[in-house]
Structure 1
Amino acid sequence: MLGGTAAFVISLGANIFAVTPALSNSAISNSVSAPSGQLSGKVLDPRTGDYLLNAVVRVTDSQGAQRTVSTSEGGQFRVAGLAEGRAKVSVQYTGYASQSAEVQIRNNEAAHIDFALVRSDSTEAVTVDDVVVVASARDADARAIMAQRQSMNITEVLSAESYGDIGDTNPAEFLKYMPGIDTDGTNGTAISVSLRGMPSSYTTVTVNGMNFVSADANTGAGSARTFSFESMSLVGIDSIEIEKTVSADVDANAPAGRIDIRTKRAFNRQKPQLVVELSGATHENMWDDNVNTGPGSGGWRGQRFLPNGQISYSGSFLNNRLGLSASLGRSDTYIEREQLTVSRNYEPTAASPDPLGITALEHSQTQRQTTRNSLNF
């Protein structure tokens, strides 16, 4: 039979009875011509040279089928199963003007298209040159918003540029400003972090999704499950993700939530980047020549500033087959801590008949100098 219908061939034999469908040529051709086109590309911010992660890419093929994907590391996206013909592609990213384009799709072939997004408040054309541009806090917030949209859990994403420079370079000093987070600062600086009012031992800290073990020398074995942020530095950190919900992919020993520290990657930029930062820390005691206050005997001995700085490099080679991201930093801070302890009388006596009466005031003053040397690669 012809015309796109199916016939049945009956075969007779010794004790054999079979019915086999016979497809016509038109039916075979329809099954072979299933959509098999592919489209790939990258999304880039030419002003900073950064590839945009979690950008929303929508593709509508010639048959009207729509597919939506998000860019992965390196700003890459890939869509398969597209019908042959002209396809419409649109890209959206928070804080950037949306872009649309058309591309020709062919079966069994892979088309390629790249997008260079411009900030929505930009009025001038963007040109890519050799000038190194440092991303602002607004760009960092845009990346954080897109990451939170992509997450399936209740997640807060903080970029390293969100709060500017943290003189102590302690990640816990960076996290303590977020809602729902409490830090232990009994020694003058943030040591551990707790989520949702639970003890810090119920919060898991990971680095790029891998469990990170820490030993706190200040508390000993009694807090073996508590992560000490004093052993870390913000140098080389790109962002911090805070998950406050428990899901199947989270360890059962983290009922309070998880803090995932994401390091910088060499493949997230189009061109190599070299950043050098120099800073200093000081204290009023360092300017008082009459008071020998300081971490050592004799005070600061005329020293006025504590030098701080970091240098970082990231770049890819061999057509993005090899990447290098390294950073070296040093931070030196001095903290003066004053504490007032109030002693109370909880049971009335003849000398102090008032309950909860204050019986003594004890004032103490301590100094703390913290030096951090970090190397990340």
Structure 2
Amino acid sequence: MVSADLLGQFPDNNIAESTQRIPGVSIERDQGEGRYVTVRGAPKEYTTVSIDGVPLANPDAASRGVELDTIPSDVIAALEVTKALTPDMDGDAIAGNINIRTQSALDREGLTLRASLAGGKYQLGDGENQRYNATVGNRFGAEQNIGVLVSGSISRQGRFTDNVETLYQAGGGGFRPTEVQIKDYEGVRTRKGLTGRFDYRINPDHLLTFVASDSNFEDREFRDNLIIALDNFAAGSGETTGQARATFDKELRERTYDKTIRTYNL
């Protein structure tokens, strides 16, 4: 288990990156940022995710693996990873289960007030990195058995990446280049999260809880792709250089990837 106090010591942007602190858990990345979680080396589809014990569905119909880069790491209380299912859990997880525990005002005495902000710039592309989060909660009632807590987070990252891809073809006793692609990616990733929780402790053995959460992830990306096609490459015997005719093509693409995970638990 990883608590919120421990998560605050690391610069994790989302839940997926936070789980990598747990032994036996690894993550799959998208452009350097964690997205999927795998437990015990099994495929991501074999790991289930729940919020306060309630199963979480994946908004992507093409895969059973839950994209945990949607949920910010600032709005949770703890992460629990179960590698061997217990009798009180659903039997739909082959690799294990990841349970996201939300924050409760009853976990602390009196008023809860916490806020933080951070900012910086990436060296590559000079993109800005901003993070803001705040949590406020309190206990009410004559016996202090009612708790209300609201937590929110927003982050914005300007990202710039580039890469060069070369395609080769076998022939003439070796390999010759047929195409070179020079790609530049420029984008902005925005992540927002809001969680509210109401607790009413009826007695020491019974607790009534209502949790509502909304997490949104937006990835706006612009790609500049220069394609160089090489034809009629010819080189002499034992030479590493030769002559070729090149055709240049330019591709520009802009896309927006938007997804939301919204839950209500009672």
TM-score interval, smaller chain: 0.5 to 0.7
Q: Which residue of 2 aligns with 1:326?
A: 150
Deviations 1:37-58 (A, max 9, x none): xxxxxxxxxxxxxxxxxxxxxx
Matches within 5 A, 1:42-53: none
2:93 equivalent to 1:254: yes
Aligned mates of 1:334, 1:249 — CA distance in 2: 43
Matches within 5 A, 1:217-366: 221-223=61-63, 225-284=64-123, 305-318=128-141, 319-345=143-169, 348-350=170-172, 353-354=173-174, 357=175, 359=177, 362-366=181-185
CA contact (8 A) 1:170 1:234 kept: yes
Deviations 1:153-196 (A, max 9, x none): xxxx1112325355563111222344332322234422211112
Aligned mates of 2:86, 2:176 — CA distance in 1: 49
More helix by percentage: 1
CA contact (8 A) 1:188 1:335 kept: no
CA contact (8 A) 2:157 2:188 kept: yes
2:40 equivalent to 1:183: no
CA contact (8 A) 1:342 1:358 kept: no
Q: TM-score, normalised by structure 1?
A: 0.47
- Gap runs ≥5 in structure 1: 1-156, 288-293, 295-304
Which amino acid is 1:369 matched to? V
Q: Which residue of 2 aligns with 1:174?
A: 18
Deviations 1:131-159 (A, max 9, x none): xxxxxxxxxxxxxxxxxxxxxxxxxx111
Q: Identity of paired residues, percent?
A: 25
Q: Which residue of 2 aligns with 1:202?
A: 46
Aligned mates of 2:84, 2:171 — CA distance in 1: 51
Q: TM-score, normalised by structure 2?
A: 0.64
CA contact (8 A) 1:329 1:375 kept: yes
Q: Which residue of 1 aligns with 2:257?
A: none
Q: CA deviation at 1:242?
A: 0.8
Aligned mates of 2:56, 2:89 — CA distance in 1: 14
More strand by percentage: 2
Relative contact order (alpha carbons < 8 A, sep ≥ 6): 1 or 2 greater? 2
Cα distance change of structure 1 residues 306 and 199 upon mapping to structure 2, 3 Å threshold? closer
CA contact (8 A) 2:27 2:34 kept: yes
- Gap runs ≥5 in structure 2: 197-266
RMSD of the TM alignment (CA)?
2.5
Which amino acid is 1:229 matched to? L
CA contact (8 A) 1:336 1:365 kept: yes
Secondary structure at the counterpart of residue 250 of structure 1: coil
